[in-house]
C-alpha cells in the first residue's frame, strides 16, 4: 500500500478522466490518474483526433483531384497510404504528449497500470511487470471509457474484419471495403476510404444512414455519398462473413429477407461502443451497473459513497465533450461547489464526414411527437455567397422553433464547416434566446454562419436571400 493519500484518484485518462483530474488539481485537490494504455484515452489516441487527421488527408487529396474546379492544374498527384496513416498516428502521439505535459504542469501523479477499485476507497494498480500497489483516496472517479461493440455475426479478427483501431492503422490500402453501421464512425471512415479510391459499401440495419440525425440530413448525405460512388444498403443486416480464401464474402439480408453477397478485402464493423466495466472491481465494491453502464446520480455519484463515474461508462451520449463536461461537474461537486447539472438536451453532436453534419436538440419528427407546434426554417448553402466562393454548395441549415414562444428546439446542419457553426446554436439555446433575437443578430458577410440567421428568418417568413 502506498503511503501517499490522495483527495482524488481518477481511473482512466480519456477526455473525461484527464479533464476531471486537471480541474481537481486547479481546485487544490491532491490528485492522481491511473492509466493502463495511452494518456488521453480513446479520443486522442484512437478516436476524435486521429480520425480527423485521416479525414484531412483524404480531403486534401480530393481537393487536388478537383483542383481544376478552382482553376488549378495539378499533374500526377499520388496518395501515399502509409504516409497518411503515419501522419494520423503522429498527430495522435503529439496530443498524448500534450496531456502528459498538462498532468505534470498541474502536479498530478501518473500511476501507470491497470486500475481496479477496491472497498475502503482504494485503487489497486497493477503495472506492466505485474507488480500491484494499492492507493487510497477520498474520492475515486471511474473514467475507463468504452471500446468497439461486436456483433455475433461480425467478430473482429483484426485481419479482415476490423474495428476502428485497425481501420486507422491498416498496412495497405484496401481496394474494396464494406462498412457496417452508418453512425458517425461509419460514415467518417467511409468518406476517408472512398476519397482515396477505395470502393466502399455501407450496410445499415435501419432505414436510413446517420439514423440519429434529422431525416432531411440523412437524405442529403445519402444523395451526396451516392453521387460520390459510395454504395448504400439500408434496412439491411449482415448475417455472416466468410473470411476463408483471399478476401471476404459478406452475406447481407434486406428487410424482405432477400440475401445477397458482397465481396471485399476488408469489413469495418462500426456498430457502436460498449462501456469498459469489466475487471475494474465494480463487484468487489458493490457499484451498481444498469444496462451495461455504471449507474450514477446527476453529479456522477455511484450508489457507493466516495465512488463516482463519468464519460463513456455512464448513460448519455458517448462523446468526448460530454465526458469532459461530466468530469468538471463531478469534481466541482466533490470540491463543495454548486455546479449546475448537465443539460443533456443541449449537447451538440458532430460528424466529420464531408460534408460535415452537426445537430443539437429535437429533430423535426421528435419535436412533433413531443406535441410542439412548429416553425421550421431552412436555408440551403447553394444560396450562400461564401459557400459558392468556396465551392461548397452542398447542404443546408435547418432550425426548428416552437411556434408559441419562439424557443429554438433544434438545429440540424449539413455542409462545410458546420461542426464549427453549431456552437452558436448551443449558446443561443443555453441563453434561451428566441428566433427573433437570432434574426436580429448581425452575422458577418460572407460567412457560412449567415445561413443560421437566414434559416431563422426563413422560419418567420423574413428570409432575404431565397
Ligand X SMILES: Cc1cc2nc3c(=O)[nH]c(=O)nc-3n(C[C@H](O)[C@H](O)[C@H](O)COP(=O)(O)OP(=O)(O)OC[C@H]3O[C@@H](n4cnc5c(N)ncnc54)[C@H](O)[C@@H]3O)c2cc1C
The Cα–Cα gap between 351 and 357 comes to 5
Question: In 3D, which of 418, 424, 359 has the Cα closest to residue 394?
Answer: 418
CB 381 within 8 Å of CB 387: yes
The residue assigned the cell 463536461 is 325
Binding mask 29-58 for ligand X (x = CB under 6 A): -----xxxx---xxx---xx--x-------
Q: x/- site string to ligand X, residues 56 to 95, per CB under 6 A?
A: ----------------------------------------
Of 8-16, 100-108, 201-209, 446-454: span binding ligand X (CB under 6 A): 8-16
Instruction: Please tell me the number of Cα atoms within 13 Å of 1 on its side-chain side.
Output: 9
> Can you tell me the distance from the alpha carbon of 322 to that of 16, in angstroms, rounded to the nearest whole number?
8
Residue with cell 505534470: 104
Q: How far is the CB of 13 from ligand X (least distance, A)?
A: 5
Vertex 200, ends 197 and 203: CA angle to 5°? 170
Q: By the 8 A CB rule, do 187 and 274 touch?
A: no
Among the listed residues 96, 143, 147, 149, the one whose alpha carbon sits nearest the alpha carbon of residue 115? 143
Out of 66, 139, 443, 445, the active site residue is 445
Report the alpha-carbon distance of residue 197 to residue 176 in Å, rounded: 9
The mark string for 327-366 relative to ligand X (x by CB under 6 A, - otherwise) is: -------------------------x--------------
Shortest CB 83 distance to ligand X, Å: 20
Active site residue 337: no
Q: State which of residues 10, 14, 218, 367 lies at the interface with ligand X (CB under 6 A).
A: 14
- Number of residue whose CB is nearest ligand X: 145
Tell whether residue 184 is among the known ligand binding residues: yes
Q: 16 labelled as ligand-binding?
A: no
- State how far the Cα of 1 lies from the Cα of 242, in Å rounded to an integer: 50
In the complex with ligand X, the residue whose CB is nearer, 293 or 333, is 293
Number of residues that bind ligand X (CB under 6 A): 35
Least distance (Å) from ligand X to the CB of residue 126? 9
Q: Are 213 and 363 in contact (CB under 8 A)?
A: yes
* Minimum distance from residue 40 beta carbon to ligand X (Å): 7
The interface region with ligand X, picked from 21-29, 70-78, 320-328, 332-340 by CB under 6 A, is 320-328
Of 53, 154, 309, 318, which one interacts with ligand X (CB under 6 A)? 318
What Cα–Cα distance (Å) separates residue 456 from each residue in 209, 363, 417? Answer: 26, 16, 19
| Residue 425 touching ligand X (CB under 6 A) | no
Of 96, 276, 359, 363, which one interacts with ligand X (CB under 6 A)? 276
User: What mask of x and - would describe binding to ligand X in positions 159 to 198, judged by CB under 6 A?
Assistant: -----x--------------------x-------------
Helix runs in 2-105, H state only: 17-26, 41-46, 48-65, 81-105
- Residue 63: all three cell numbers together: 481537393
Which stretch, 82-90, 197-205, 211-219, 310-318, contacts ligand X (CB under 6 A)? 310-318
Here the cell at position 346 is 443541449
Interface pick for ligand X out of 145, 174, 377, 406 (rule CB under 6 A):
145
CA angle, corner 155, sides to 149 and 161, nearest 5? Answer: 100
**DSSP helix/strand/coil, 252:** strand
Number of residues written out for the chain = 466
For residue 204, say whether it is annotated as part of any ligand binding site: yes
Nearest to residue 234, comparing CAs of 201, 276, 199, 269? 201
Among 8, 217, 320, 334, binds ligand X (CB under 6 A): 320
Among 9, 103, 108, 323, binds ligand X (CB under 6 A): 323
With the CA atoms of 283, 286, 289 and 290 taken in that order, what torsion angle do they form, in degrees rounded to the nearest 10?
130
- The binding site for FAD comprises 52, 115, 312
- The binding site for NAD(+) comprises 181-188, 204, 272
Footprint on this chain of ligand X (rule: CB under 6 A)? 11-17, 34-37, 41-43, 47-48, 51, 114-115, 143-146, 164, 185, 276, 280, 311-312, 318-321, 323, 352
Q: Which residues are known catalytic residues? A: 445
- The binding site comprises 52, 115, 181-188, 204, 272, 312
Amino acid at each position: 500500500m502506498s503511503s501517499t493519500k490522495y483527495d482524488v484518484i481518477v481511473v482512466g485518462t480519456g477526455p473525461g478522466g484527464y479533464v476531471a483530474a486537471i480541474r481537481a488539481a486547479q481546485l487544490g485537490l491532491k490528485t492522481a490518474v491511473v492509466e493502463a494504455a495511452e494518456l488521453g484515452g480513446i479520443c486522442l489516441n484512437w478516436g476524435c483526433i486521429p480520425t480527423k487527421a485521416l479525414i484531412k488527408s483524404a480531403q486534401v487529396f480530393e481537393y487536388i483531384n478537383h483542383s481544376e474546379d478552382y482553376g488549378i492544374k495539378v499533374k500526377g498527384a499520388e496518395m501515399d497510404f502509409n504516409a497518411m496513416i503515419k501522419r494520423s498516428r503522429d498527430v495522435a502521439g503529439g496530443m498524448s504528449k500534450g496531456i502528459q505535459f498538462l498532468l505534470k504542469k498541474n502536479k498530478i501523479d501518473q500511476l501507470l497500470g491497470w486500475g481496479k477499485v477496491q472497498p475502503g476507497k482504494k485503487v489497486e494498480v497493477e503495472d506492466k511487470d505485474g507488480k500491484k500497489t494499492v492507493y487510497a483516496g477520498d474520492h475515486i472517479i471511474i473514467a475507463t471509457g468504452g471500446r468497439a461493440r461486436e456483433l455475433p455475426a461480425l467478430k473482429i479478427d483484426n485481419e479482415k474484419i476490423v474495428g476502428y483501431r485497425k481501420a486507422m492503422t491498416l498496412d495497405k490500402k484496401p481496394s474494396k471495403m464494406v462498412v457496417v453501421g452508418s453512425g458517425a464512425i461509419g460514415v467518417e471512415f467511409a468518406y476517408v476510404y472512398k476519397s482515396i479510391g477505395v470502393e466502399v459499401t455501407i450496410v445499415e440495419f435501419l432505414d436510413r444512414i446517420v439514423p440519429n440525425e434529422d431525416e432531411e440530413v440523412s437524405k442529403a448525405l445519402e444523395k451526396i455519398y451516392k453521387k460520390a460512388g459510395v454504395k448504400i444498403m439500408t434496412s439491411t443486416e449482415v448475417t455472416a462473413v466468410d473470411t476463408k480464401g483471399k478476401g471476404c464474402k459478406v452475406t447481407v439480408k434486406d428487410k424482405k429477407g432477400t440475401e445477397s453477397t458482397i465481396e471485399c478485402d476488408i469489413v469495418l464493423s462500426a456498430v457502436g461502443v460498449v462501456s469498459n466495466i469489466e475487471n475494474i472491481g465494480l463487484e468487489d465494491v458493490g457499484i451498481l451497473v444498469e444496462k451495461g453502464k455504471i449507474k450514477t446520480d446527476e453529479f456522477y455519484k455511484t450508489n457507493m459513497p466516495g465512488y463516482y463515474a463519468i464519460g463513456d461508462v455512464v448513460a448519455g451520449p458517448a462523446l468526448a465533450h460530454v465526458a469532459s463536461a461530466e468530469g468538471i461537474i463531478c469534481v466541482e461537486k466533490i470540491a463543495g461547489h454548486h455546479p449546475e447539472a448537465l443539460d443533456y438536451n443541449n449537447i451538440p453532436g458532430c460528424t466529420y464526414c464531408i460534408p460535415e453534419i452537426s445537430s443539437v436538440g429535437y429533430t423535426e419528427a421528435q419535436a412533433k411527437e413531443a406535441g410542439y407546434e412548429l416553425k421550421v426554417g431552412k436555408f440551403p448553402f447553394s444560396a450562400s455567397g461564401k459557400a459558392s466562393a468556396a465551392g461548397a454548395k452542398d447542404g443546408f441549415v435547418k432550425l426548428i422553433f416552437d411556434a408559441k414562444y419562439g424557443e429554438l428546439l433544434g438545429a440540424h446542419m449539413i455542409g462545410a464547416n458546420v461542426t464549427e457553426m453549431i456552437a452558436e446554436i448551443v449558446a443561443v439555446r443555453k441563453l434561451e434566446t428566441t428566433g427573433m433575437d437570432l434574426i436580429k443578430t448581425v452575422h458577418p458577410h460572407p460567412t457560412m454562419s449567415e445561413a443560421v440567421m437566414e434559416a431563422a428568418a426563413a422560419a418567420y417568413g423574413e428570409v432575404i436571400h431565397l
